[in-house]
Amino acid sequence: VQLVESGGGLVQAGGSLRLSCAASGRTFRNYVMGWFRQAPGKEREFVAKISQSGVVRHYADSVKGRFTISRDSAKNSVYLQMDRLKPEDTAVYYCAADPNYSKSNSYDYWGQGTQVTVSS
């Protein structure tokens, strides 16, 4: 699976951004899709994931109620709507794919990342 993220940028605290991830190469509907992020000097952390059907979703506590993950099988894409952004959300955001919903971090396929910077 090839994954390409887009939609990152610079935004003020309290603002919104929508990240997109386009998938190609294998059957999109077979994969759990996840978003992860890595801030400078920190380890990569889980943000959100969505099941193959789109019915089941999980979020990190730090983003719950502010971020929404969704997927569009017709477009082979997954999205991350980020609202009420905070400076601590600043990081490189990665899209990832894996067939196993229970997997926490070591997904099989990763995108190149997109930078999100939230100014205070």
User: What CA–CA distance (Å, rounded) separates 114 from 120?
Assistant: 20
pLDDT tens digit sequence for 9-41: 999 999 999 999 999 987 899 999 999 999 999
Residue labelled with tokens 């899209």: 95
User: What CA–CA distance (Å, rounded) separates 27 from 8?
Assistant: 26
Q: Span 45-73, mean pLDDT?
A: 97
pLDDT tens digit sequence for 70-116: 999 999 999 999 999 999 999 999 999 999 999 888 999 999 999 99
Q: What is the pLDDT of residue 105?
A: 87
Q: What is the pLDDT of residue 26?
A: 78
User: What CA–CA distance (Å, rounded) separates 67 from 61?
Assistant: 10
Q: Determine contact, residues 12/118, Cβ cutoff 8 Å.
A: yes
The total number of residues written for the chain in this structure: 120
Q: Span 58-81, mean pLDDT?
A: 97
The dihedral built from the CA positions of residue 44, 92, 86 and 70, taken in this order, carries a sign that is: negative
Distance of CA 21 to the CA centre of its chain: 8
Q: What is the pLDDT of residue 104?
A: 86
